[in-house]
Chains A and B, each alone.
Chain A
Amino acid sequence: MQPGTGRWPRRRTLAPCPFQGLTFGVRQTTVMYMATSDEELALAAAGGDAAAFSKLLERRYDSLFALCFRLTGSRAEAEDLTQDICAALPAKLAGFRGDSRFATWLYRVAVNAAHDRRRRAAAHAKAAVGWGDRELDRRAADAEAAENARWLRQAMRALPNDLRDTLALVLDELTHADAGQVLGVSEGTISWRVSEAKKIIRARRETEDRT
């Protein structure tokens, strides 16, 4: 629009310095949650209890991160995925009703987030293939470890996503029934997938042994 309408408002002078003595502190909450179950904490957190949420996540963080690594195969990816989950968890938690174990529920959240990430990565055409080399190689100090790392990488890469996800859970000591709950399929499907995965890995090993 063309200028020329109205008048410029005039302001008054500024008041004296308003931020003297201002401190930016951290709020502390100390509540004892030592002995409470994950499920209780989760329900308390879903009801708005920040301390319960904090405690719960601290307790579950390491296993969550480990699962993220198993799902993605790279430290960087796992860290990003964990971050995604941490950011979205409070909202998701509102839907936790305590009708499944919290660990199972959290794993389901993680698996869904991993799918989401994968799909987005694929859409960007710069998909991280998963099971990237850097982290594994970095950790492979000696020859045997290096061989193991190479084997692990190739084994995981050979698997389609659904089998890989299944293994990520089963290798985390989840029962087939629990893994089924996380992935939303039956126990039988999990058992079938595990045997499919074994077949693929064995087939790879046999091809390698021949060459």
Chain B
Amino acid sequence: MNDDDLERLKTVMRAATPVPDDAKKAANLALARKSFERFQGSKDALRQTPDRPETGLARELGKMLNFLSNRVALATSTAIVALGAVMLLSIGVALDPPTISASREAVTPEPALDYQAQAGATAEVRSSAGRASAERRLQALSPTTASGDSDDAPYAMGEIGFERHIVEPSWPSLEGNSEEFASAGDNQVKVTAESPVSTFSIDVDTVSYSVVRSSLLNGYLPPVEAVRVEEMINYFPYAHPAPDGDAPFQPTVSVSTTPWNAGTKLVQVAIQGALPEIEDRPPLNLVFLIDTSGSMDEADKLPLLKQSFRLLLGQLRPEDEVAIVTYAGSAGQVLDPTPAPDRSTIHAALDLLEAGGSTAGQAGLQQAYATARGMTEDGEVTRVILATDGDFNVGLSDPEKLKEFIQRQAGNGAYLSVLGFGRGNLDDATMQALAQNGNGTAAYIDTLGEARKVLVDQLSGALYPIADDVKIQVEFNPAQISEYRLIGYETRILRREDFNNDAVDAGEIGAGHSVTAIYEVTPVGSPARLTDPLRYQADEVTSSSDELGFLRLRYKSPGSTTSRLIEQPITSDLAPSPEAGFAAAIAGFGQLLRGSSYLGDWSWDDAIALANANRGDDPYGYRAEAVQLMRLAQGLDQR
């Protein structure tokens, strides 16, 4: 046995270990704090009544120190403070020894405990139904977690603990980059008798689908937290019935069988926004706010952005105006408001854009809004379009202030849309936050084809809002539905009382947009029910109605501060919409990518077959592309 090798290794290793880089350290600490705040925020929002556990010693020490220092200011004996501090410091040392001597029994199933503890922590914020299903899945997983002593155990744990876990967030990055995604754990099954009402905001963003596509085309599965099922479903145009007369949109509810579960049904709520004649649309003022920081200097970033905007220019009408503001180092206006027909001036300004310098997003944002304000006349539509690869250093030191700022601008009619370019640095979470607060949409442009879809084919929807703060509330009838589950919209869940509160922000619908929300519902008496009825609470159902549920929709006309209400019963005889099949296939696609546990043995083959059978009229080939992506994912999902 040669211990010299180990000693040498130790010495050399110590010499080789670098000191952390100060700047990186500061950035990482800031990132952690931000993440902490976000995590606490999402927890509190879900939980409504923040219940912070009493943390004993820490708090007591804090109080004691405060007490001491207050007293000391008055008293004369500074020696007492010194003594107090020394005493406390020595406690700290005693509590923080460099090693502990753990006995053999103390070794192990720690990871399993850790996992259960985590599951428990998130279970707090869910209904008991959610907890029951979480536990069920824990049991299903436990064969892997049970072994403590085999060499493989920690790796298996890593797998569950860090990738396909049911518990909330995971590592937010792909290998070697700093992408951040807005995400939340899957919506859990709710027991109708316990919580019959489901409330959420609509979401017309399409970032998630583009990110999924870009990941799959690059040969890897997208990070689970980048997959938002509702954004994948809403990426596609659907032929839903258009609204009559002056109504901004038309809801269509359909009930169909669930492809992945014979014992449940899918209730689809589809909303189709009106698409008025292009010729009649009000004049448009666009301010491009372009990130020209150094990181934009890649083929799929600034050059793609320029091409995309040229495509967009072709769609503008003579009375529209365009301005360009850049941000990098110093913010600057590179194109004063220019009428759209003056193409050569606009093209020249675009051509001159070059990547370089660091990012200072906030000043650029202010300048863009100031420009927008100068351009707007009565009856015109104004929008700031922010294009970035995610290096959006908006002075986010106080995200609340920024949020307020953007919200106020949106309240004054200047909406904000966000276009993401390139991978590796995409700050999806910030993009979402900005667009949501700015009453705009977020889209991710990975190819010129996608640019065409967003900026040409669906330009009207992207730029002209027809209804603001659209909220959906569904009340299920416990006499008919024992359980339900909202597929997707995890980041858009609202509190029940927020539905009627016009001060609470929600998603916007643009001209021609369609939005679909899918519930998987379990009829009373179905063997597919996941939870058992409670033993001690009489399962009394007073309603004799045969409706499955009741749909309520609230929206505001753009610029209005009071909402209007649309109501409609959901009955079981509603025919399946011809578009329901494809939406269900995409819902299945998204859930397969998320590793959802609700699909049973429904496979990629089933998803592909279902999507193929429902391709319908697919003039631009979006649906055909989705089938290709499913096949790619199927090949990559053999891990």
Contacts and interface: CB of A to CB of B under 8 A. Distances in A.
Interface of A: 1-15, 17-19, 22-27, 31-41, 43-50, 52-54, 57-58, 61-62, 65-66, 69-70, 75, 78-80, 82-84, 86-92, 94-97, 99-101, 104-105, 108, 111-113, 115-117, 119-121, 123-126, 128, 135-136, 139, 145, 148-149, 151-152, 155, 162, 167, 171, 173-175, 177-178, 180-181, 183-189, 194-195, 198, 201-202, 205
Contact of A27 (B168, B239, B398): B398
27 contacts: A5-B243, A8-B464, A9-B559, A11-B379, A19-B408, A19-B409, A25-B397, A26-B398, A35-B91, A35-B92, A36-B61, A38-B95, A43-B56, A48-B50, A75-B18, A79-B21, A87-B172, A89-B35, A91-B167, A100-B110, A108-B114, A108-B154, A111-B154, A113-B171, A120-B220, A180-B102, A188-B104
A26 B460 CA distance: 39
Residue from A4, A92, A117, A155 with most neighbouring chain B CB atoms (10 Å)? A92
Closest 4 CB pairs between A and B?
A: A6-B274, A37-B95, A95-B118, A35-B88
B282 interface: yes
B381 interface: yes
Contact of B13 (A10, A23, A105, A171): A171
Interface residues of B, number: 157
Contact of A167 (B9, B17, B159): B9
A188 B99 CA distance: 18
A208 to B, nearest CB: 12
A8 B281 contact: yes
A205 B248 CA distance: 77
A113 to B, nearest CB: 6
Contacts of A136: 16
Nearest to B42: A91
A48 B52 CA distance: 7
B497 interface: no
A41 B405 CA distance: 34
Nearest to B177: A80
B154 A10 contact: no
B108 A185 contact: yes
A155 B151 CA distance: 21
A46 to B, nearest CB: 8
Contacts of A178: 99-100, 102
B170 interface: yes
Interface in B398-431: 398, 401-402, 405, 408-409, 412-414
Given A8-B281, A152-B16, A181-B110, A1 B62 contact: no
Contacts of A61: 20, 25, 28-29
Contact of B171 (A23, A88, A101, A184): A88
Nearest to B103: A177
A6 B175 contact: no
Contact of B168 (A41, A47, A91, A183): A91
Interface string B366-377: 100110110011
Contact of B102 (A18, A36, A181): A181
A84 to B, nearest CB: 5
Given A19-B405, A135-B18, A54 B57 contact: no
A24 B460 CA distance: 34
B276 A3 contact: yes
A123 B28 contact: no
B412 A18 contact: yes
A66 B88 CA distance: 28
A33 B169 CA distance: 28
A88 to B, nearest CB: 5
